[in-house]
Amino acid sequence: MDNVGFYITTFLFFPGILFTAVVGLVFQWVDRKVSARLQWRKGPPFFQPFYDVVKLFGKELIVPRISSQTGFLLAPLIGFAGVALVSTILWLTNLDPTRTFVGDLIVVFYLLILPSLAIIWGGTSSGNPFSAIGASREMKLILGYELPFIISVLVVAFKLHTLSLGNIILIQQAEGLVIGNISVILAFLVALVCAPAKLGLPPFDMAEADTELMEGVILEYSGVALGLIKLTQAMSFFVLTVFLSIVFLGGLPLGGIHLLWSLLKVLALAVVFILIKNTNPRLRIDTAMKFFWGPMTLLAVFAMVLAYLGY
């Protein structure tokens, strides 16, 4: 327990809350700028996401009278803490792959669901019918995408015979990228489709659906709480790209020329999500469920069978 101070520092500054928040907001700027360029617009200035968050932190926080106050105020904090913690685990493992523990892949799975669960709790506590509809959609969506997403990541774990992130990085650095196998390519495709649903990006944004449910789950939030939720979303975007690059693309080494290559990996993944987001209209919740439990799960299971057969 003598290095508690070290872990608290890593959680608060690098690579925890501060680092993830800043890089997450930069990623949100990339998202908005690329979207704007795709629509032949000029797009927002570089500091736009920072202005948004600072402004939201300074605004009045209104708690609706009919809401359940504890859940309403606690939920954004829990989601924020979850995403900061998962970022800390991922980056500590990435910086030093030997600093790993058995089954941290499973811990990361659980922590990645935490923001979605928190937002469901917050949405249902707010007492707004639109938020309730949004929360119920988010719940169904989690049931939909988690199955193919977990199977697709387990393909890599099965292929490398390990459940720890550090070993996944070490083996890939020693024996070449795992993405060379056809089963892992299929699994990677499935994970790429599940990731926008995990982030609530179009075409899987039916829980927020701003034209239909008026932002759904986060409708009643204002001020600091809304700022935290927006920050959590921006951070999740960054954290999920890091997670996918660690599992499928062999980690993000930061030394020398590797830094450029790592940056390219995360940015390319982010741009893929942005392209999916800008070229697809929103799906209905039942279509999305059929899509995830039908073709996506089948593809993931097929990839698993291929991995079992040694491809």
Binding part of the chain for other proteins, among 15-23, 208-216, 284-292, 299-307 by CB under 8 A, reads 208-216
Joined tokens for residue 167: 């070993």
Residue 179's Cα: distance from chain center in Å?
Answer: 21
Using CA atoms, how far apart are residues 110 and 78, in angstroms rounded to an integer?
13
Amino acid at 31: D
Q: Which is nearer to other proteins, 57 or 311 (CB)?
A: 57
Binding part of the chain for other proteins, among 21-29, 49-57, 236-244, 291-299 by CB under 8 A, reads 49-57
Contacting other proteins within 14-43 (CB under 8 A): 32, 36, 39-43
Q: Which is nearer to other proteins, 43 or 253 (CB)?
A: 43
> Contact 57/224 with Cβ under 8 angstroms?
yes
Contacting other proteins within 55-94 (CB under 8 A): 55, 57-62
> Cβ 279 to other proteins, closest distance in Å?
16
Using CA atoms, how far apart are residues 295 and 301, in angstroms rounded to an integer?
10
> Cβ 178 to other proteins, closest distance in Å?
39
> Cβ 158 to other proteins, closest distance in Å?
43
Using CA atoms, how far apart are residues 252 and 260, in angstroms rounded to an integer?
10
Contacting other proteins within 215-274 (CB under 8 A): 215, 219-223, 226
Using CA atoms, how far apart are residues 178 and 188, in angstroms rounded to an integer?
10
Largest CA distance in the chain: 59
Quick one: how many helices (H) and strands (E) in the chain? 12, 0
State the residues that interact with other proteins by CB under 8 A: 32, 36, 39-45, 47-48, 50-52, 54-55, 57-62, 210-211, 213-215, 219-223, 226
